[in-house]
Structure 1
Amino acid sequence: MAQVIPLDSLLTGKAAAPVPASAPKAGCSAGTCGSAAGAASLPPDVWAKVKDHPCYSEEAHHYFARMHVAVAPACNIQCNYCNRKFDCANESRPGVVSERLTPEEGARKVLAVAASVPQLSVLGIAGPGDACYDWARTRATFALVARRLPDIRLCLSTNGLALPELVDEIVDMNIDHVTVTINMVDPEVGERIYPWIYHGHRRWTGRDASRLLHERQMEGLERLTARGVLVKVNSVMIPGINDAHLEEVNRQVTARGAFLHNIMPLISDPAHGTAFGLAGQRGPTARELSALQDRLEGGAKLMRHCRQCRADAVGLLGEDRGQEFTLDRLGDPVQEPVLDDGSARAEYRAWVAAERADRAAAAAEAVTALADTPALLVAVATKGGGRVNQHFGHAREFQIFEARGGRIAFAGLRRLDDTYCKGGQGDEDGLEGLLAALDGIALVLCARIGDCPRQRLAAAGIEVSDAHAYDYIETAIAAALGGRAGATAVTA
C-alpha cells in the first residue's frame, strides 16, 4: 500500500505514523482565485512557474522556503512608512536586515542555505533598498547563484521607479517573478505617502514626484507582463490615506496584467522611527484588511498569506531562520560551503508532489460533509505541510479558513504579538490579546491545548479541538464541523 510520510517526520527524522494513501484525505479546495489557484485553473506554463513559489501559491507556502539576500542597500524613493535603519532580530518588517552583503557574500549565503534547507525553492532580492535601483549588485548576485543553483527560481522586489529600462535584462536572466509596490495611481494620494523620489539625477518632491513614480510603475508593469513575467503588486493599506483608493489601484493593475495583488497592512509603530509611526498614523485592523480584500475579489488575483518578510528572511513563510546563516556562522570566507548536487532538493520536491496528489485526490470527500454548513471561520495552528501540527500555546499566527457549504477556502492570517505559552506556562495577558485576534472565529484547531486556554476560549464562545492533530487541514475542518449541529454563521 502506498504511503505518504508526514512532513514533520521527513524533515526532523522523528518517528511518526505513516499516512496510508487510502486513508481519508483532503483536497486543496481553497478555490481557484488568487494565490489559491492550482494546476486545474492555470495554464501549464504558469502553473510550472508558481507551483513551488511560496509567495505566488498559497498551497506552495505550506511546503517551500524562500530566502532574501540583503545585497541592494541603495534606494531611490522615501516612503513615510519605511525606516531601514531600525533592526531587531525578532522583527518581521520589509526593509529590515541584520547585515548587508556584497554579491559574493550573498552568493555564499545562498549556497549555505541550499545545502542545509531542502525546502528552498526561491531566491529573492528585496533590498533593503531597491533591487532595480541597486541593479549592479542585484544582477551580480543572481549571476553568481544561477551558475551554481540552476534549479532555484529568481525573484526580485522593486518600487518600480527604475524598472522600465531593465525589463529586457530581467527577462534575459530568467527572472520570471517580480514584485512591484504600488500604493497609488492618483498623484494626489501619492504625495501623502512619498516625500521625495530620485530620478534622472535629481530629487523630485510633491505631486510631481508621485506623478512620475506612477507613470514609471505603470510602464514597468506593462512591459513585464507583455514579456510573460509574473508580476505581484504589493500595496500598503494606510487607513484614511489610500484604503478606499486601493480599489482603483486594483482595477488599474488588473487591466495591465498583474498576476497577484497583495494588500498589506501598514506597520506603524513609533519605535520604528518612520514618519507615519511618529505621526500616529494607525494601521488597519484585521477586519478592515479582510473587508478590503473581499471587496477586491473579481479583480487581480489576491494574495492573502503574505508575512511582510524581512529583506534577509530565510525559511518557510511565517518562520525566519536568517540568524542561522549570518556571515560569522558560515566559516572561513575563502571557502565555499560543501554543496550537494541538488539531489536533496529534488527528493524533497518529489515528496511534495506525492503529498499534493494525496491531498488533492480526496477534495470532494473532505467537503461533502459540509454541503449544508453555513459560513464559518476556522483558525488553524500549523507549522507547515498543510497539517494541523502546532501547539496552541506556541502559535505566533493562525491561518484562517472559511467553510461554506461544500467549500473550504483560505481566508487570511491572524497574527499575534507573541506566543501564549512561555517556558511551559501560559501568559494571561497574552491570552487576552490572543482572544482579540480570534474575534469572529467559530472553531480553533491545534495539535494540543491546555485546559486553561481551552476553558477561556469556550467562555468566549470559541470551540477548540486537538482531536485532529496532524491531519490535513481540510480533513480536520471537515471532520470537526461534520459533527457540529446548529452551527451559527459568522463573518470575517
Structure 2
Amino acid sequence: MDLPVLFNDPPASPSGGCAANSCGSSDDQLGHLPEAIRDKVFNHPCYSEDAHHYFARMHVAVAPACNIQCHYCNRKYDCANESRPGVVSEVLSPEQAVKKVKAVAAAIPQMSVLGIAGPGDPLANPQRTFDTFRMLSEQTPDIKLCVSTNGLSLPESVEELSKHNIDHVTITINCVDPEVGAKIYPWIFWQNRRIRGIEAARILIEQQQRGLEMLVERGILVKVNSVLIPGVNDEHLKEVSRIVKEKGAFLHNVMPLIAEAEHGTFYGLTGQREPSHAELQALQDACAGDMNMMRHCRQCRADAVGLLGEDRGAEFTLDKIDAMEIDYAAAMETRARVHADIAEELAQRRQHGPAPVPILQASGPTALMAVATKGGGLVNEHFGHAREFLIYEASPAGVRFIGHRRVETPYCEGDSSCGEGESALAKIIDALEGCRAVLCAKVGYEPWSALENAGIQPNGEHALEPIEEAVLALYQELLEAGKLTDDVAQQRQSA
C-alpha cells in the first residue's frame, strides 16, 4: 500500500483569501460569497492568515466614548507598554488621523488596511468616525477602511457605513443569551438612559444581530469577535458561532480573556482567570465545524501600527509626523509596486503550495511546533529576538496554524549578569508549554540546552524556509529520529 504524503489541503486560487487549513479562507469555504467579496480578503491581514505575514494594518484612535461597559475592558491613555484593545497613547482628531495615515502609508508601503477600533466604540462617536472615513475615502483611496464595534449603535449606522466604501466590519459578540450577557456587561447607555442587567444584555444582543443581518444584506464582509471567559461564556460560544454563521458572518475570532490585575478591569480585580492555551484551542476547534475560525489575532491596541505582532506606533506620534516631509503621490506609486509584488508572491504560493514531504508511516502523533518569524511567511527570526511565536500543529494528516503566543521580554533583552536573561528564558519556555519543537533562524547554546531540558527541540536548520514547509520537514525528521511518540506529544499537550 502506498504511504501517505504530508501536505496542506489544495491551496486557494488567487482570488480566494488565505490557504486552506489556516484561517479557513479557501475557495470552497468562500463559495457562498461573490467573487468581488473574495477579492477583498486576500490583502487584509486581519481577515486572511496568509496576508498577515505580508500586509500591515493601522488603527487610528478617534473614538474615545463608549456606550456600553464590559467587565473585561478598561480604556487607558498614554500606556505605551500595554498591548491590548482599548489602550492608546493619544486620541486624535479626524484631521490628525488622516495626517497620520498618510505618514504611515508612505513609510510602510505594505500597509493595506486602516481601522477605527476605539479606544471607545466608533459608532458611539459617529461624527468623528465618519468624518475620518470621509476624508480617507477621498485622500487615500487605495487603503481599505474597516470599523470594529460592539454593535449597540450598528443598525442605525449601516447606511452611513455603506456610503464610505467600508466593506469589512467587525462586531464583538460575546453571547446570544441575555442571562450570559448580564455577567459580562454591567450596563449599556441606550436612548439617553443607562440600562442594567438582563434587559441591557437583551437590547445589546438584539442590536448586534439586527446589525449583522443588515450588513450581510448589503454585501459587507463581517467578522465576529468573541472573548472567551472561562466559566461565563466558554461553552456558550459554540452557540454564538453557529448563529452568526447562519446569519452570514464570514469569520469568527475567539480571543482569550485578558484579565491581569494591573490593567484595572473588573475581571482582573476580582480574580477571573484567563483561559489556558489548550482551552482556547479546544474551543476554537469546537467552533470550527460551524464557522471559519481566525487564529492569528493579536488583540491589538486601538492605535496599533505595522504588521500583526509588531507595533510601530511610537514612530508616528503627532510631533514626529509634523517633522516629516511626505510626498504622498510618490508614496502611492511605491505602494502600488509593493502591493503588486506581494500579490504575485501570494498567488504563486497558493498555486504551488508547500513541497510534499513523504512520511514513513501511515499514522503518527500530533505535535505542536513554535516558529519565530519577522513576517513574509518565513522562519527568519532569531530565538533571542522573538517577541512572539506562531504555533502550528503537524501530523500525518497535514499542518495547520493554531495561533500565537506572546513573550513578555525577548531573551536577548534580559541582562544575564543579574539573572534577567534566565528569568526571560524561563518565561519563554512557559509560553511554549505543549510545543514539541521551536524553529528559528538562530538559537544560542544556553537557550538551546534549556529548551531541550524542557522537552522542546530547538531547530535552526530550516532558517529562511517557508514556515509550512519547514514545520512539515522538521516533523518528518523528528519522526525518523524516533523523537515523536504519541505518549510524548500527548503528555506535552495535556500538561
Q: Does structure 1 conserve the Cα–Cα contact (< 8 Å) formed by 2:245 and 2:290?
A: yes
Q: Distance in 1 between matches of 2:398 and 2:360?
A: 7
Q: Distance in 1 between matches of 2:87 and 2:361?
A: 45
What is the CA-CA distance between 1:481 and the residue it aligns to? 2.6
Question: What letter matches 1:375 in structure 2?
Answer: T
**1:352 maps to 2:346:** no
Unaligned runs of 5+ residues in structure 1 are 1-24
Q: Does structure 2 conserve the Cα–Cα contact (< 8 Å) formed by 1:27 and 1:364?
A: no
State the SS of the aligned residue for 1:307: coil
Q: Distance in 2 between matches of 1:450 and 1:402?
A: 25
Query: How many equivalent pairs are there?
Result: 466
**1:343 maps to 2:333:** yes
Unaligned runs of 5+ residues in structure 2 are 1-7, 13-17
**1:298 maps to 2:323:** no
Task: Give the 5 Å matches for 1:288-327.
Answer: 288-327=279-318
**1:488 maps to 2:482:** no
**1:247 maps to 2:238:** yes
Q: Distance in 2 between matches of 1:123 and 1:222?
A: 24
What is the CA-CA distance between 1:361 and the residue it aligns to? 4.0
**1:450 maps to 2:444:** yes
Distance change in 2, residues 1:38/1:118 (3 Å): farther
Distance change in 2, residues 1:36/1:394 (3 Å): farther
Q: Distance in 1 between matches of 2:9 and 2:184?
A: 44
Q: Does structure 2 conserve the Cα–Cα contact (< 8 Å) formed by 1:34 and 1:260?
A: no
Give the structure 1 partner of residue 428 of structure 2: 434
Give the structure 1 partner of residue 256 of structure 2: 265
Q: Distance in 2 between matches of 1:246 and 1:35?
A: 18
Q: Does structure 2 conserve the Cα–Cα contact (< 8 Å) formed by 1:31 and 1:409?
A: no
Give the structure 1 partner of residue 472 of structure 2: 478
Distance change in 2, residues 1:369/1:350 (3 Å): farther
What is the CA-CA distance between 1:218 and the residue it aligns to? 0.5
Per-residue CA deviations over 1:26-58 (Å, capped at 9, x if unaligned) read 996986366242457535323211100000000
Give the structure 1 partner of residue 374 of structure 2: 383
Give the structure 1 partner of residue 20 of structure 2: 32
Q: Distance in 1 between matches of 2:446 and 2:225?
A: 40
Larger deviation: 422-431 or 95-104? 422-431
Q: Does structure 2 conserve the Cα–Cα contact (< 8 Å) formed by 1:236 and 1:263?
A: yes
Distance change in 2, residues 1:362/1:424 (3 Å): farther
Among 155, 164, 169, the residue aligned to 2:160:
169
Per-residue CA deviations over 1:34-84 (Å, capped at 9, x if unaligned) read 624245753532321110000000000000001000011111001111111
Give the structure 2 partner of residue 418 of structure 1: 409
**1:186 maps to 2:183:** no
Question: What letter matches 2:394 in structure 1?
Answer: A
State the SS of the aligned residue for 2:283: helix
Larger deviation: 223-232 or 362-371? 362-371
Among 39, 42, 54, the residue aligned to 2:30:
42
Task: Give the 5 Å matches for 1:62-461.
Answer: 62-85=53-76, 87-331=78-322, 337-341=326-330, 342-363=332-353, 365-369=355-359, 372=362, 374-422=365-413, 425=416, 427-461=421-455
Q: Distance in 1 between matches of 2:370 and 2:28?
A: 27
What is the CA-CA distance between 1:397 and the residue it aligns to? 1.3
What is the CA-CA distance between 1:433 and the residue it aligns to? 1.7
Q: Distance in 2 between matches of 1:365 and 1:463?
A: 23
Q: Distance in 2 between matches of 1:34 and 1:229?
A: 22
Q: Distance in 2 between matches of 1:161 and 1:367?
A: 49
Q: Does structure 2 conserve the Cα–Cα contact (< 8 Å) formed by 1:50 and 1:57?
A: yes
Question: What letter matches 1:355 in structure 2?
Answer: E
Give the structure 1 partner of residue 15 of structure 2: none
Percent of matched pairs sharing the same residue: 54
Distance change in 2, residues 1:27/1:467 (3 Å): farther
State the SS of the aligned residue for 2:43: coil
State the SS of the aligned residue for 2:368: strand
Q: Distance in 1 between matches of 2:390 and 2:228?
A: 20
TM-score norm. by structure 2 comes to: 0.89
Question: What letter matches 2:339 in structure 1?
Answer: R
Distance change in 2, residues 1:27/1:415 (3 Å): farther
Larger deviation: 276-285 or 41-50? 41-50
Question: What letter matches 2:399 in structure 1?
Answer: I
What is the CA-CA distance between 1:480 and the residue it aligns to? 2.2
Q: Distance in 2 between matches of 1:482 and 1:317?
A: 29
Q: Does structure 2 conserve the Cα–Cα contact (< 8 Å) formed by 1:177 and 1:229?
A: yes
State the SS of the aligned residue for 1:470: coil
Q: Distance in 2 between matches of 1:380 and 1:97?
A: 29
Give the structure 2 partner of residue 7 of structure 1: none
Larger deviation: 407-416 or 91-100? 407-416
Larger deviation: 66-75 or 352-361? 352-361
Q: Distance in 2 between matches of 1:156 and 1:415?
A: 25
State the SS of the aligned residue for 1:481: helix
**1:468 maps to 2:456:** no
Q: Distance in 2 between matches of 1:81 and 1:55?
A: 22
Q: Distance in 2 between matches of 1:282 and 1:168?
A: 40
Q: Distance in 1 between matches of 2:88 and 2:29?
A: 37
Q: Distance in 1 between matches of 2:21 and 2:127?
A: 36
Q: Distance in 1 between matches of 2:318 and 2:77?
A: 20
Q: Does structure 2 conserve the Cα–Cα contact (< 8 Å) formed by 1:27 and 1:474?
A: no
Q: Does structure 2 conserve the Cα–Cα contact (< 8 Å) formed by 1:27 and 1:366?
A: no
Q: Distance in 2 between matches of 1:456 and 1:356?
A: 37
State the SS of the aligned residue for 1:267: coil
Question: What letter matches 2:462 in structure 1?
Answer: H
Question: What letter matches 1:84 in structure 2?
Answer: R
Q: Distance in 1 between matches of 2:191 and 2:28?
A: 45
Q: Distance in 2 between matches of 1:82 and 1:396?
A: 24
Per-residue CA deviations over 1:279-314 (Å, capped at 9, x if unaligned) read 111111111111111111111211000000000000
